[in-house]
Structure 1
């Protein structure tokens, strides 16, 4: 009898073991994704956090877009955290403190996060979800957030730097409107004709590019130059860079077509955007944001044109934090945010240029009116974007350059001393 009971107990234990094994294969043996996460359950409710900068209006637009995303992914909820102040420092504190967001908005310094392994490469997720990056983005925009040959972000907003010009000033001077086919010489010729003096005093300047890095850098790339060679060695001391910097200084101190630091001070130390709105300059190159400002200004007849030659794009993108436990769900969100439907609220808000090919060429964008005025919005899609020299030491690089260029643009240092000194500083930084 005892033998029979023993046999029954053994059989029962074997059955339990088999059932437990089957149960483990079904529920506890995860199907891993490329990033090591458990494969997303489409029915499981998931809460994500997205960090961004900007205004309350920016946050409102993002929430509108996330409401659109939720129609496709009802199981994913995204809480938006608007970070005020030093965005990078606060986000880094969150990551270091073990409370990282899942999705981060990042701009030019995304490579800093990528080099620190704080955000993930998206290539496997892009492939797994069947996203055609060449269809979604133009080639220059789609690759703008790549690092070491991999995608680290889905570009969300991306507006090229374009030319704003005063049509009445051009008409009065008999000068043809700006064109993407202009050369730098044709730009300078036009700027000279558009500069107006009353006695010895200049009252209207033809073109004010300013000394901000996008201004001088685009001239370098228009000249066929770059800041790094194919081996990623700095190439600041080159004829292409020298010619670009010389042209900028000559426009202020030789030709008088741009403002000098003294003239800027006399006008209240205000930037190119308000000077254009006041009718002080005939041309400037700046970003999408100036459209919204000018749409509120009366009495100025303006339009926009693509930049002559190559230019840069102001952008931000959506990235996935490595320490997030929901890589797959996070990707579904950022992928959905870059579909046409979810990009339309960016256009409707009039705050920025959308990044995707479908959105920036859409009827909603092309035919948008600002202040009751229709302008040449094709200027953005027609712009040619150069490959910006973004790298993990971007901030340090710009400090080396800006410390010296600031003196040069006040005409208190020679071109040779400036370029040689910057080249030396960059060589030390990237050796």
Structure 2
């Protein structure tokens, strides 16, 4: 078994296959230091924690992660909070930076004797319809190589070799550009509120997400195609305070901005998640906007489903799970896409003053008011916000 990519999907899959007695190797383009430090999402859903618990992969997140159960909305009509642990299914998030989860999974895999080839770039997957497809690679020195296996798991993202290797017509590609961009910021500053903060403002959305006691992630709705370094740090902090209405609700804790990047809110789904002996998981299977923090959680869920199916086939001669892999995963993926789009419409509105823009913003305002006042709407939100 060859696994492309050492992110959450690839490493969960590798750990589960190795423990199940399936010979596998993980091929990762980046070096180990980069894999363990690349900052990504940090909100783990309750079901993700249960999966990691089930397979003995959760020690680090229980020791260092923080449970989180409250989000705050700030709008032109004031602010309100939802304690979603008391709504819906009564579940919480665990805030645990993805780079720490990846480090835990990587350490567990290597300590158990798992094989990872860092700085090994997968170039192509050949013969996916054959009994033993081949993965062509290039190492850090530019030398070519090849790995053969019964199955290949593409966990290498939307731009990886797995997607590139799909021939025309092999899968259906559903995609949508939401027309919204965010400037993602990682600041060396303590959280400014004890909740996830969503601010809706005439100048655009702003978001606050705690990561650790010393580091906070912020988002600013951003002009499409504008470089991430367009604004100075002072201007960014001033804009964050304006959109989050710091004058009314208290100033933000400022600090150096460690990272900044522009994220275009886009979504896509490939159907089916299989082409012959090549299976897709994580961002290679579907890309989801960060508006609802579902990406890493879908990746872990898909990895567990795929691992059990592969073990059933390779260890017990039962291929049924592999045949049903797409059918099992796609309802979760489309459900997450649906809620992600709902969040995008909730948090963003047109900036114009024409009749269409005024109508859309009034609908958005009514949606927020229903979330503030309706228990049934709050229960629906909580179930979908934490669930996958």
Structure-1-length-normalised TM-score: 0.24
Higher RCO structure (Cα 8 Å, ≥6 apart): 1
The structure whose Rg is larger is 1
- Please state which structure has a larger fraction of its residues in strand: 2
Report which of the two has the higher share of helix. 1
The TM-score normalised by the length of structure 2 is 0.26
